[in-house]
Amino acid sequence: MEKIVHILSLLLIVTVTQNLTAQVNKTDANGKKQGEWMKTYPNSRAFEYKGQFKDDKPVGTFTYFYPSTKVKAIVKHDPNSTRSSAFMYHETGTVVAFGIYRSQKKDSVWTHFGPSGRLSYKETYKNGQLNGKKTIYYIPEDPEDKSERIAKIYTYKMDVIDGEVIEYFDSGSLKSKATYVNGRQEGIFIMNHPGGKPMIEERYKNGERHGWCLAFDEEGKEIGRKFYKGGKELSGKDLDLWLKYCKQKGLNPNN
């Protein structure tokens, strides 16, 4: 008897779900979504999302769910523009990220958090592509430490690294600094010892090491150097000939 009641209960749930779905998910004569829509995960009664459409465009508030039925995201669409504000959640309920969309593409600054709720990184978008600063933060081991210390900053231009890439020690002092042009490293790259003195100084051209690359000890004394031309190390006679040629032509070998 208990098994029969259980089976009937399941059939009732399925029937109710089917009837509910039949009342939503409507399209008009032109095939455009209209009114309330909801979608379940494959082979599951758990909803993937619930929301509303008007002329095939999302309007109002959309709620997205994990298969466990926990809220995954809430997206609120502005009624008079293409702007939407979004909050993403870990399955535990803490915030994963928040930011805005324009025409359903990420825009402006998005802020991300780790499972513990601590600030993890921020990204800047334009038309769905990284454009501007991406800042990564140290996450302190001490849960009582609420400080926000920058670990690394990237600069992007339409999804490509373009500009300075700066890294910091946990203490806040400069760890390294590089410059990129259209995704390729260019110019001088420096890396410091934790005490602040230079450790490495390299030169790049079109993404390859080019020119003198130097190494220093913690006191700032030079302890080694190598020369590169177009990504290849020159030494011995080859290096002497190249330096002699540069001197004769009045060229800077680092260029």
Q: Has residue 119 been placed in a domain? A: no
Q: Has residue 128 been placed in a domain? A: no
CATH at 190: 2.20.110
Q: Enumerate the β-bridge partners of residue 63.
A: 50, 74
Instruction: Decide if 191 contacts 204 (C-beta within 8 A).
Output: no
Bridge pairing between strands 187-192 and 174-181: antiparallel
Cα 183 from Cα 155, distance rounded (Å): 10
Q: Has residue 103 been placed in a domain? A: no
Q: Has residue 241 been placed in a domain? A: yes
CB neighbours of residue 184 within 10 Å: 15
Q: Has residue 99 been placed in a domain? A: no
Output the tens digit of pLDDT for each of the chain's 255 residues.
Answer: 555 444 444 444 444 445 544 578 999 889 999 999 999 999 999 999 999 999 888 999 999 999 999 999 999 999 889 999 999 999 999 999 999 999 999 999 999 998 888 899 999 999 999 999 999 999 887 777 778 999 999 999 999 999 999 999 999 999 999 999 999 999 999 999 999 999 999 999 999 999 999 999 999 999 999 999 999 999 999 999 999 999 998 999 998
Q: Has residue 30 been placed in a domain? A: no
Can you give the pTM of this predicted structure? 0.81
**For the chain, what is the domain count?**
1
Q: Has residue 110 been placed in a domain? A: no
User: Which amino acid makes up residue 79?
Assistant: P
Cα 72 from Cα 66, distance rounded (Å): 6
Collapse the DSSP code of 202 into the 3-class scheme (helix H, G, I; strand E, B; otherwise coil) and give the result: strand
Residue 192 structural domain: 162-255
Q: Has residue 188 been placed in a domain? A: yes
User: Where is 150: in which H helix or E strand?
Assistant: strand 150-157
